[in-house]
Amino acid sequence: MKNYTTIKTFILVGLTDDPNLQILLFIFSFLIYLLSVVGNLTIITLTLMDSHLKTPMYFFLWNFSILEVSFTTVCIPRFLYTMASGDNTVTYNACATQLFFVVVLSVTEFSLLTAMSYDRVTEFSLLTAMSYDRYVAICKPLHYTTVMNNRVCIKFLIGCYIIALIIVIPPFGMGFELEVCDSNVIDHFGCDAAPILKITCSNTEFIERFVLVLAVLTLLFTLVCVIMSYTYIIRTILRFPSAQQRKKAFSSCSSHIIVVSITYGCCIFIYVKPSAKEGVAINKVVSVLTTLVAPVMNPFIYTLRNKQVIQAFKDMIKRIASISKN
């Protein structure tokens, strides 16, 4: 965006103009955001305090929760402020900052989830790391503590963030070369790439194709890593002699599979299409799923199905109750 004097502020359309619907939407968004933050902070606290949760999987999990809290905090408070105050304007710099962190955190999340199997671009790098972790734990249990040591986990985590920055910075730099001169109205509840490209008067064909290639490569690479990990996992589980062992092994992976499915499904729908300008209205609805619904689901998906986390939560409640009595 070369011409800073042309447009210095943007106007966010939001999700609806109906005042009554806005009140309901504000209450819903606020409660879901609060629940998401509390749930993910609980996961972070439990995994850092409980000695039984000092494993690579939970290391990736609490970092994943940090990403979720950061991602929702970048998007939702501004959305809530707009609905509460009626001020739907946002400055150029604030919009650019929000867009940058949204994309970086999203790409990192993908790599971390692969690290959780290799463990919502930041959401992409973390998703890949999580898959590799599950593969080593199930397929090579005797080597698990050696292969997935603290140094390896930290390298995975740093690598996720570096990959995200490498993927995001080139197209983001191209975005600053675009001129917005026809309109300053963004048809979204936040600063997203597709509605911004829609209002620019510059030729966006190259940047759209470049972003599409990056999105496809990022999603394809991390998804292939996840699929390969789970192919080995399933082959190994099916060799277990006991049906109870097989059920327990599949149960340990089910939470991760659910999160991967939700995250990849939403992002493929939003980013993998010929033109980023198409389907902006539908993208708003899908964005609600990725920014509100998915982050609040993750703590419950990983805790309600996990006896270790539930026990750690009970122990923490007992300690808090014991301290309060004294």
Q: Which residues of the chain have pLDDT under 70?
A: 1-7, 110-111, 113-148, 181-182, 249, 252-256, 259, 266-283, 285, 302-305, 326
Tell whether 4 is covered by a domain. Answer: no
Q: Global pTM?
A: 0.74
Residue 7 resides in a domain: no
pLDDT score recorded for residue 30: 92
The H or E element containing residue 89 is: strand 89-91
Report the pLDDT value the prediction gives residue 125, as an integer from 0 to 100. Answer: 44
Tokens of 164: 């995200």
In a domain, residue 121? The reply is yes
Axis crossing angle, helix 150-175 with helix 92-116, rounded to the nearest 10: 150
Question: Does any domain span residue 5?
Answer: no
Range of the domain at 299: 18-325
pLDDT in tens, 214-257: 777 777 777 787 777 777 777 777 777 777 777 776 776 666 67
pLDDT of residue 122: 39
Q: What is the CATH number of the domain that holds 175?
A: 1.20.1070.10
Q: Return the pLDDT at 147.
A: 65
CA distance 231 to 219: 18
Q: Is residue 67 part of a domain?
A: yes
Q: What pLDDT digit, counting tens, does each position of 263-307 carry?
A: 777 666 666 555 555 555 666 767 777 777 777 777 777 665 677
The alpha-carbon radius of gyration of the chain (Å, integer) is: 21
Instruction: Judge whether 1 lies within some domain.
Output: no
Residue 183 within a domain: yes
* The pLDDT of residue 294: 74
Predicted local distance difference test score (pLDDT) of residue 267: 67
Total number of domains constituting the chain: 1
Alpha helices (runs of H) in 50-200, residue ranges in sequence order:
56-85, 92-116, 129-139, 144-147, 150-175, 193-199
3 domain residue, yes or no = no
